[in-house]
Structure 1
Amino acid sequence: MSKVLVTGGTGYIGSHTVCQLLQQGHDVLILDNLSNSSLAVLERIEEITNQKPEFVEGDIRDKSLLNSIFSQHDIQSVVHFAGLKAVGESNEIPLTYYDNNVSGTITLCQVMAEHGCKSLVFSSSATVYGDPASVPITESFPTSTTNPYGASKLMVENILKDLQASDPAWTIVLLRYFNPVGAHQSGLIGEDPAGIPNNLLPYVTQVAVGKLAQLSVFGDDYPTPDGTGVRDYIHVEDLAAAHVNAVSRLENFSGTCTFNLGTGNGYSVLDIIKEFEAVTGKKVPYQVIERRAGDIAECWADPSLANRELEWKATRGLEEMLADAWRWQSQNPNGYRD
């Protein structure tokens, strides 16, 4: 099996993907600056897989470090997660987001090209669809963005498409995630946001575990069945499986391809709260506050292209997503700091 460099591999989605890559027989090297993750993840990955991935602490913007990694290791492909990802924060510090997400990817690709490694899976986002005119969303929908985080993802997509067009030796898979939730069924790894969570489910679980007093629901006046935002929630283990399939696809494909990763089902914020309470028996007090800048009413995927061409399908339902998220949070009330 091939040697895969996973940037951001100790992060939420990265760590779950690393586990599955190792279990599928791949040799994995993680590069992470630990800005939003913990070294404890490496021990948890080893506990799950009985294998310890190689790890380098560092930043994708550090060209000399990248050169030394590619000089010392025969890396055949890169799965690129490293990036800042909070929509709200991106509105406050846009330059930081563009520097990290866009400049970092350019540096990574320059070094990859210098070392003849031209196979890349990129972690993109459904935010590249902006405020879609209709749902479900297919890959052919027009792209636009409503915040700097989404704009940085779309810029990188366009850069990678231009790169591949300029040099057909590149093989690039762009994966547009909808809303990743859940955790490894062991409860050993999961989502551990720094500070107040930006995403709904870790906010819900932190209220349920007593870390936060109540959930803030951003707006109940959207044109949706109950007035709250509707999203396509996908289990992080299903998402990780799509990356493993994408790495295999790199070996017998050339060009750039783009896939939506979602379940094709939309759930509102209030749906999530009700289902979480039913699954866990925990009450989640909430308060409706004003809408958040950059949020949209509804967003869910048509994942049929990934079903066909990536030979991938989301298999875990909402109940399993919520149960796994709660197992992680209840076993690790303070995340990896426990």
Structure 2
Amino acid sequence: MNILLTGGLGFIGSHTATVLAAEGHEVVIIDNLCNSQRQTLDSLESITGKELPFYEGDVRDAPLLKEILQKHHIECVIHFAGLKSVAESGTDPLKYFDNNVGGSIVLIEAMQATNVKKLIFSSSATVYGEPQYLPYDEDHPLAPMNVYGRTKLQVEEILQDLSKSDLDWSIVCLRYFNPIGAHESGLIGELPQGIPNNLMPYICQVVSGKLPHLNVFGDDYDTKDGTGERDYIHVMDLADGHAAALEFVDKHKGWEAVNLGTGIAYSVYDLVSAFEKSSNQTIPKVVKERRIGDLPIYYAKADKALVMLGWKAKRDLQSMCDSSWKYQEQLLKLAK
């Protein structure tokens, strides 16, 4: 199948590209490089052994989107392109609504204009908000606690309404939990620009000497060790989930939302301990006050993904940390 990945050089998009290319799909990438690197394309081509058509551009550029969709005879779009900092979304909400919601609308209109009606949307577990029960299943009430989560929910709602108005659409919204890890080659991984917002890339920068210590935001939660617990999922498991969703949208019409998670809650200290084992280094930690809006614990119920997509996460926390460290070692070698 000919597939367009928006934001395809980002963390999740690039790893998904490796899986799709290995399955024989023709992958085309558009990315504006606002939070990704051009050299990731070289790494992807090295991993896949294929030349991947790439366009440096924005999903709000309708003429470019139409040109790509027509030129490459695109059959399905996997829409990763979106800003993802919870903190920044609160300080600059218009930027997030313009990019995440506005960009999605432009993309959908371009797809309609070129009669491409298969779409997989990169959503988020942040659409659920404060848990009324755990684990979150897809029927849990939706009440995002931040602007980022609201942009994801708004796009989900737009897509759901679209599918009701035109029964030819095939749409799956994948609600990610906490992706970490890297490709087994060590050639691609998570490389955010600036100081990371997420735990794993922050740990990597501490271990590599770029940051002095890890800030632990709260050690007095009602959890097993007092730190926040999250459903961390290996990015390659997540990539496999997109390949499974692609098979589904190729055969089914309508709109579906599906959790992609492991169903296991790991604490901050679980992650630190596993990464110390991977890197054979001690990670210095400083406990800080809790951050506003952080939940003590959340994790997925992923039964629907197994039933509907035939997908289940396979990789454990240690393999997540081992692969992240392998990628970090490659970066350290390149820096010398």
Answer yes or no: same fold by TM over 0.5.
yes
**Is 1:312 the counterpart of 2:316 in the alignment?**
no
2:106 maps to what in 1? Answer: 107
Cα distance in 2 between the residues matched to 1:324 and 1:51: 23
- Does the CA-based 8 Å contact 2:278-2:325 persist in structure 1? no
- Cα drift, residue 330 of structure 1: 1.7
- Between 1:313-322 and 1:282-291, the stretch displaced more is 282-291
Aligned pairs (5 A) from 1:17-96? 17-96=16-95
- The residue that corresponds to 1:257 in the other structure is 256
Aligned residue pair count: 336
Gaps of 5+ in 1: none
The aligned counterpart of 2:119 is: 120
Letter in 2 for 1:62: D
Which letter does structure 2 place at the counterpart of 1:3?
A: N
Q: State the Cα distance separating 1:334 from its structure 2 match.
A: 9.2
Match of 1:301 in 2: 300
Matches within 5 A, 1:231-310: 231-310=230-309
Structure 2: where are the runs of 5+ without partners?
A: none
1:307-338 CA-partner distances (Å, limit 9, x unpaired): 11101111100010000001101211399x88
CA root-mean-square deviation: 1.3
Query: TM-score, normalised on structure 1?
Result: 0.97
Q: Does 1:153 align with 2:135?
A: no
Letter aligned with residue 81 of structure 2: A
Query: For the residues of structure 2 that align with 1:53 and 1:294, how far apart are their CA atoms?
Result: 40
Aligned amino acid, residue 265 of structure 1: I
User: So what's the TM-score if we normalise by structure 2?
Assistant: 0.98
Q: Secondary structure at the match of 1:238?
A: helix
Using the alignment, how far apart are the partners of 2:226 and 2:178 within structure 1? 19
Question: Match for residue 216 of structure 2?
Answer: 217
Query: Given the superposition, is the C-alpha separation of residues 143 and 329 from structure 1 closer, same or farther in structure 2, using an over 3 Å criterion?
Result: same
- 2:130 matched to which residue of 1? 131
CA–CA distance in 1 between the matches of 2:71 and 2:292? 45
Q: Distance in 2 between matches of 1:17 and 1:226?
A: 34
Equivalence for 2:167: 168
Q: Distance in 1 between matches of 2:213 and 2:45?
A: 35
Q: 1: CA distance between counterparts of 2:333 and 2:7?
A: 21
| Structure 1 consecutive aligned stretches of length 4 or more whose deviation exceeds 6 Å | none
Structure 1 CA distance for aligned equivalents of residues 18 and 61 of structure 2: 26
Higher mean Cα deviation, 126-135 or 10-19?
126-135
Q: In percent, how many aligned pairs have the same letter?
A: 51
Residue 274 of structure 1 deviates from its aligned partner by 1.6
Deviation at 1:92, TM superposition (A): 1.1
